[in-house]
Structure 1
Amino acid sequence: MITKDRYIDWVGKKESSNALVTSNHADALSATLNRDDPPLKEGDTIPQGWHVIYFHEIVKLCETGSDGHPKRGEFLPPIDLPRRMWAGTKATYHKPIYVGEWIKKTTTIEAVTPKVGKTGDLVFLKLKHEIEGNNGIAVTEIQDVVYREEAKTSLTYDILPSAPFPAVWSRDVEPTPVLLFRFSALTMNSHRIHYDRKYVMEVENYPGLLVHGPLTQILLMDLFRHQLSNKLLKDISVRAVSPLYDTHVFKIQGCADNDGKSANLWALNHNDKLAMTLKASF
């Protein structure tokens, strides 16, 4: 069993990076999502949540691990479990982000928590991201990442929950390798589970290429934006429930709450079982 004290020296570590918000990046994501938005220009606001395409983990190729991620032990702790998965995010949107401004991202390691689950040892990594623009803090995020042991058994879909509410909005998504590649390129995410079929099936024992958790989140936020185009998000809480693969079409769905101030969105796999939930307030 992995003890919590093993990673105590990593808690509180910070790193920062800067990025210029260009229209080209946002236009590329818009095209990847098959949106018909006109090209953005200087001074336009980017859609909420799209800041993720501007901050990249830039390391030399020789400094990447066998899974394609940057090697652990530099900023991130040296967690020796092989499988890394995005588990969820809580975000608060304070101010808009504009094309043409420089933004700064400061990441703090908030917690490193070992646990034991049904699949064996787990380590949960909690990261706090603060995105700051010309007018102060624009976005605060708490991101959860989970590290797991190698796969021993396949996930059984019939133990997963179904849709949490009757769907008012619904859209089918075909997670083609081209879609996954384009999102990996936009975010400079070289994790091989998203593009290397031989690796993901033979080494990590998944049935196909995995859809990025942040991509599914952006698709859910895009559904909200399409259905409630006159609303701006205040907060979201996102939880990954089960993986989505490129082998099947999946659904993104949602509905507004009766209070007129919140909405629930979710993603379902090909068996209509829950893959992700997103609770939004606006």
Structure 2
Amino acid sequence: MTVSQSESEAPQALPLEAWLDKTETLTDEITSFPLRALAATLDRDAPGNVVPPLWHWLYFLPVAPLAQVGPDGHPKRGGFLPPVALPRRMWAGGRLTFHAPLRAGETAQRTSTIASIEDKTGRSGRLVFVTVQHRYGALHDPAGAVCIEEEHDIVYRDAPQPGASAPKPILAPAGNTWSRTLVADAVMLFRYSALTFNGHRIHYDFPYVTQEEGYPGLIVHGPLIATLLLDLVHRERPDATVASFAFRAVRPTFGGNAFTLCGKPAEDGRSVELWAKDHEGYLTMQATATFA
């Protein structure tokens, strides 16, 4: 995988707004092993040479030397992403449009742009939202067609203050037509972290996530839950072609507990509302998929 940036890394003393419109281009080989490995992790048949929706997250991965990794296991801040000085970093959601699939055996390219940076204060303290726009396509496509368009939302937040109350959870909706209950155990979390080269310690380091970040257990990756929601669509509508997908993380899901994936197709059959709920029945993710 090769990387080229439109500008050199800026000094961390610059304001966060200096990162707006910064671009990065990654080139990667779409190999077949990650597809087989994720299929095995999800207990489904391998998809052949077609990259299913959201499985493109197995590619274009940041490969930082260990000397450039921060205490949370992520690459140190201040390269392509802005150096937000807040300890917690989470994938908050995203919006994707699928025009055509990437395929194993081809070389593909992703162009990313920092689209927005919002600095806010909420009930839990300071929040910084960063939205990155991605465009994916086959590198040698003479038409230069875009296969996938994506907006990726990242949230940075303060550590919890001593004695601060947790946000009130929201009960998941009822009336689902589809459902699947499973447990994301430590093995599944390890496999997904490895397949996405995600060193974030909240997903595999129990002492770190409980003692340093104050969570009650290992956290299931938001992208994994989103992938499992679309996997539910695949299981229920195996012949359907997903045209778009939008999702928003609502509450952490903790490994070792059962959680449920739910779906409710629209009456016209053109879309499906999707959500995930934890073992206590609280909403953890909301999503919508539309069909071509």
Residue 38 to residue 194, structure 1, CA distance change in 2 (3 Å): closer
Query: Any gaps of 5 or more consecutive residues in structure 2?
Result: 1-13
Task: Report whether the alignment pairs 1:52 with 2:57.
Answer: yes
The residue that corresponds to 1:9 in the other structure is 18
The residue that corresponds to 2:269 in the other structure is 260
Q: Match of 1:265, as an amino acid?
A: L
Q: Match of 1:205, as an amino acid?
A: G
Residue 18 to residue 154, structure 1, CA distance change in 2 (3 Å): farther
- List structure 1 segments (4+ residues) > 6 angstroms apart after TM superposition: none
The residue that corresponds to 1:145 in the other structure is 154
Partners of 2:193 and 2:128 in 1: how far apart?
24
- Counterpart contact for 1:48–1:93, Cα < 8 Å: yes
Task: Report whether the alignment pairs 1:176 with 2:185.
Answer: yes
- Counterpart contact for 1:89–1:141, Cα < 8 Å: yes
Alpha-carbon displacement from aligned partner over 1:139-175 (angstroms, at most 9, x marks no partner): 010011100101234635xx33323351111111211
The equivalences for 1:23-102 within 5 A come to 23-35=32-44, 37-38=45-46, 40=48, 44-102=49-107
Query: Any gaps of 5 or more consecutive residues in structure 1?
Result: none
Partners of 1:69 and 1:160 in 2: how far apart?
28
Task: Report whether the alignment pairs 1:251 with 2:260.
Answer: yes
Alpha-carbon displacement from aligned partner over 1:21-40 (angstroms, at most 9, x marks no partner): 111110000000011x1573
Partners of 1:198 and 1:163 in 2: how far apart?
30
Q: What's the TM-score once normalised by structure 1's chain length?
A: 0.93
Partners of 1:55 and 1:9 in 2: how far apart?
24
Partners of 2:47 and 2:110 in 1: how far apart?
25
| 1:112 CA displacement | 1.0
State the SS of the aligned residue for 1:137.
Answer: coil
- Counterpart contact for 1:23–1:39, Cα < 8 Å: no
Q: Match of 2:112, as an amino acid?
A: T
Partners of 1:142 and 1:46 in 2: how far apart?
19
Q: What's the TM-score once normalised by structure 2's chain length?
A: 0.90
Task: Report whether the alignment pairs 1:113 with 2:118.
Answer: yes
Q: Match of 1:236, as an amino acid?
A: F
Partners of 2:233 and 2:46 in 1: how far apart?
19
Partners of 2:131 and 2:31 in 1: how far apart?
29
Partners of 1:16 and 1:114 in 2: how far apart?
26
- Counterpart contact for 1:211–1:244, Cα < 8 Å: yes
Partners of 1:31 and 1:49 in 2: how far apart?
16
- Counterpart contact for 1:55–1:187, Cα < 8 Å: no
Q: Match of 1:117, as an amino acid?
A: G
Partners of 1:161 and 1:206 in 2: how far apart?
18
Instruction: Name the count of aligned residue pairs.
Output: 272
**Percent of residue pairs bearing the same amino acid type:** 42
- Counterpart contact for 2:177–2:264, Cα < 8 Å: yes
Alpha-carbon displacement from aligned partner over 1:189-234 (angstroms, at most 9, x marks no partner): 0001101110100000000010000000000000001111111111
Partners of 2:173 and 2:203 in 1: how far apart?
27
RMSD of Structure 2 on Structure 1 (CA): 1.4
State the SS of the aligned residue for 1:252.
Answer: strand
Matching residue within 198, 223, 244 for 1:189: 198
Partners of 1:180 and 1:247 in 2: how far apart?
10
Task: Report whether the alignment pairs 1:162 with 2:171.
Answer: yes
